[in-house]
Amino acid sequence: MGRQPCCDKVGLKKGPWTAEEDRKLMNFILTNGQCCWRAVPKLAGLLRCGKSCRLRWTNYLRPDLKRGLLSDYEEKMVIDLHSQLGNRWSKIASHLPGRTDNEIKNHWNTHIKKKLRKMGIDPLTHKPLSIVEQEDEEPVKKLQKVQVPLQEPVKKTLEEPSNTKNMLTLEEPQDDDQFMAMNLDYGLEDVPLMDPESLELICSNSTMSSSTSTSSNSSNDSSFLKDLQFPADFEWSDYGNSSNNEGVDNIIENNMMSLWDVDDFSSWDLLLSSTFGLV
């Protein structure tokens, strides 16, 4: 007969987390690792539901998280990925180490959207606004779907190879307007994205510097992290390759913090040309 409900919502605390709750959750995960979220609040002595604990951990407490504003380079990555994936924030986040889907989603809605509109680009379609407006005025043209086999190199970069979806679906217009016509309709597994090795290569070839915005903007609420001592048997299997007994600062610094702080992309030209074909 199924399982027990994840949490009976009676008597559970909601709203902002206190430093004490953070400490309890952090200590519990660091000691026991991530297991069954349903059991976490009970075992950690928290009056929260498992879902809330998971969210707090993934969006705020995880030691590999980068804090602060997204760098220019990260922003460009987000835009590029969004043009291919749409609002699949978790997929986008998986290509930006140390960033969460929530963070990227918020940044998109509050910063990038405006920025793109200001530049005359529709954040939804990634097309120039003038064209989007034209499209809105014209009656919607029916698009006819055709299937095109993926090129080999593209297939190799697929993040989650699928047996059934090795085809890119193109929407072919019924008129002659090439630009408006080509509307790539990627399947979730079909997007040709960089693999981690390629990303590493890019990072290692780029000028690395620790950005002031990412490394020093940590929230005061999480300052206790710096005092946390990691248990001797704790393994960072999911968060990097650091050896045991390292403090939070070292782990974050050695593995993640500066990975994406690439300062040598000062203009948007590269992005514009690669993503939108502009400039």
Which residues of this chain interact with DNA, rule CB under 7 A?
1-7, 13-17, 36-38, 50-52, 54-56, 59-60, 69, 87-91, 101-103, 105-107, 109-111, 114, 219
3-class DSSP assignment, residue 108: helix
Widest pairwise Cα distance in the chain: 66
**Residue 28 or 60 having the CB closest to DNA:** 60
Rounded distance, CA 215 to CA 218, Å? 7
What is the enclosing helix (H) or strand (E) of 144?
A: strand 144-149
Residue 146 DSSP one-character state: E
**Residue 51 or 226 having the CB closest to DNA:** 51
- Residue 16 Cβ vs DNA, minimum distance, rounded to whole Å: 4
* Token pair 């993934």 in the structure block, residue: 58
- Residue 77 Cβ vs DNA, minimum distance, rounded to whole Å: 15
- Residue 38 Cβ vs DNA, minimum distance, rounded to whole Å: 4
Rounded distance, CA 149 to CA 145, Å? 13
Rounded distance, CA 274 to CA 272, Å? 6
- Residue 58 Cβ vs DNA, minimum distance, rounded to whole Å: 7
Structure tokens at 32: 């026991």
Q: With contact defined as beta carbons under 8 Å apart, do 74 and 97 qualify?
A: no
**Residue 99 or 246 having the CB closest to DNA:** 99
**Residue 215 or 254 having the CB closest to DNA:** 215
**Residue 47 or 146 having the CB closest to DNA:** 47
- Residue 66 Cβ vs DNA, minimum distance, rounded to whole Å: 12
